[in-house]
Amino acid sequence: MTEIFYTNELLDRARHIQDELADAVINYYFPTRKKELQELLVGVKDNSYQPDAKAHESLQLLWQNIFQHPAIADESLLKTGQAFFSKHSSDLMLLLGFLSLPYCYAAANGAEVLVRSNRIKDEPEKRLLETAEFVFDVVAPNAFDHDGKALASIFKVRLMHAAIRHYVGQDKSWSEAFGKPINQEDMAGTNLSFSLIPMRGLRNLGKNIVGEESLGYIRYWNLIGELLGLQAELLPASMRAANVLERKIRKRQFKKSEAGVILTSSLLDYFEKATQGTELEGKSKPFVHFLLGEKVAKLLDLEVELVRQRLFQPIPKFIKLKNVFLSKEDSYLNSLHRFQEQKNSIKTNSSFGLPKGVSSD
């Protein structure tokens, strides 16, 4: 795919396209059968899940679209992407919080959906851990095996997104100028925030990333994106296409917004609390500023004094941040173990729950 495909006309259309299959499930079960759907989803533990006779046809079709997707049999694709994550796991997981999430918050229209979730604003640690858990589920060495969790997690997240769209659609404060909630363009940008954006972060921190493994990781997340309902025309087939698509979306969607500033502030408050009493106290903001770059940081009100920018040494601080938030070593198992410790420390409920609504406050 080349740059010519990523026209404003294509992306304008994408802002009004959502996820027909997942939305059909929610349209059937909400509001009167929501409890029934929740009970069905409790049984979605791993990739062995199959809906029973009680499941509506719409849920059966969504299950087929995910669990019987032909690309999940591509062992070469899966192994390449999983190997890249295993090689850089703790780095990638740290960049998820310090780069990928605030990057998404800079997309003003997409941030309007996120800021309507009290969970994201008021419990950023749980939001971060839930996102991290999803990433671990979809990139684990056995993620797509029979006893893996990739397909199960994607299935539940896809329905969660559809439920959010349902509630936002009822929110009188929602403006058509934002586009449809959780639309194809926003989904494409989010998908890049899990693949292309953290790879840029790795390079900014002095990591040597070769082109072949970069493309392999992009293609791996293309598969995840497609399973999450992203249309094929928004899945970049090359590194050049990925960079072109990211730049196009950034130029169209990145601007200062109250929603983006609120979300970023909430996330940074958590980072500051997590580093209290360590030598990293007060360093989270300049680190995020360094990773995002001056232009994007300004959109999120991340103004950092020039003297602090110059004194901040990103690579040594990055290594110390890894020791605070994740594992000292880039090992999938080490990173997963440290994540489980963090998750257990806040006693978060890992069982999937459909959202109860959104807030426009």
pLDDT in tens, 139-197: 999 999 999 999 999 999 999 999 999 999 999 999 999 999 999 999 999 999 999 99
- Residue 36 to residue 108: CA distance in whole angstroms: 35
The per-residue pLDDT of the chain, averaged, comes to 88
**Residue-level pLDDT at 55:** 93
- The amino acid occupying position 304 is V
Residue pair 283/131 in contact (Cβ under 8 Å)? The answer is no
Q: How many CA atoms lie within 13 A of 310 on its CB side?
A: 3
- Mean pLDDT to the nearest integer, 30-53: 94
Residue pair 207/246 in contact (Cβ under 8 Å)? The answer is no
Q: Is the pLDDT of residue 29 over 90?
A: yes
**Residue-level pLDDT at 1:** 40
pLDDT in tens, 229-261: 999 999 999 999 999 999 999 999 999 999 999
- The structure tokens listed for 21 are 């299959």
Q: Is the pLDDT of residue 5 over 90?
A: no
Q: Is the pLDDT of residue 315 over 80?
A: no
323-355 burial code (b ≥16 CB/10 A, e <16): eebbbeebebeebbebbeebbeeeeeeeebebe
Of 197, 203, 242, 202, the C-alpha closest to 219 is: 242
- Percent of the chain predicted with pLDDT > 70: 84
**Residue-level pLDDT at 354:** 87
- The structure tokens listed for 152 are 């199960």
- Residue 304 to residue 301: CA distance in whole angstroms: 9
**Residue-level pLDDT at 18:** 98
pLDDT in tens, 182-233: 999 999 999 999 999 999 999 988 888 888 899 999 999 999 999 999 999 9
- The structure tokens listed for 211 are 């082109």
Higher pLDDT, 43 or 307: 43
The residue extents of the domains of the chain are 3-345
Residue pair 230/188 in contact (Cβ under 8 Å)? The answer is yes
Backbone angles phi, psi at 101, to 5 degrees: -65, -50
pLDDT band for position 305 (cuts 50, 70, 90): low
- Mean pLDDT to the nearest integer, 40-52: 95
pLDDT band for position 335 (cuts 50, 70, 90): low
Residues in the chain: 361
| pTM of model > 0.85 | yes
Q: Is the pLDDT of residue 306 over 60?
A: no
Q: Is the pLDDT of residue 2 over 50?
A: no
pLDDT in tens, 86-102: 999 988 998 999 999 99
- Residue 195 to residue 213: CA distance in whole angstroms: 11
- The amino acid occupying position 121 is K
**CA trace torsion 274, 279, 283, 287 (10° rounding):** -90
Backbone angles phi, psi at 254, to 5 degrees: -80, 120
- Mean pLDDT to the nearest integer, 42-61: 95
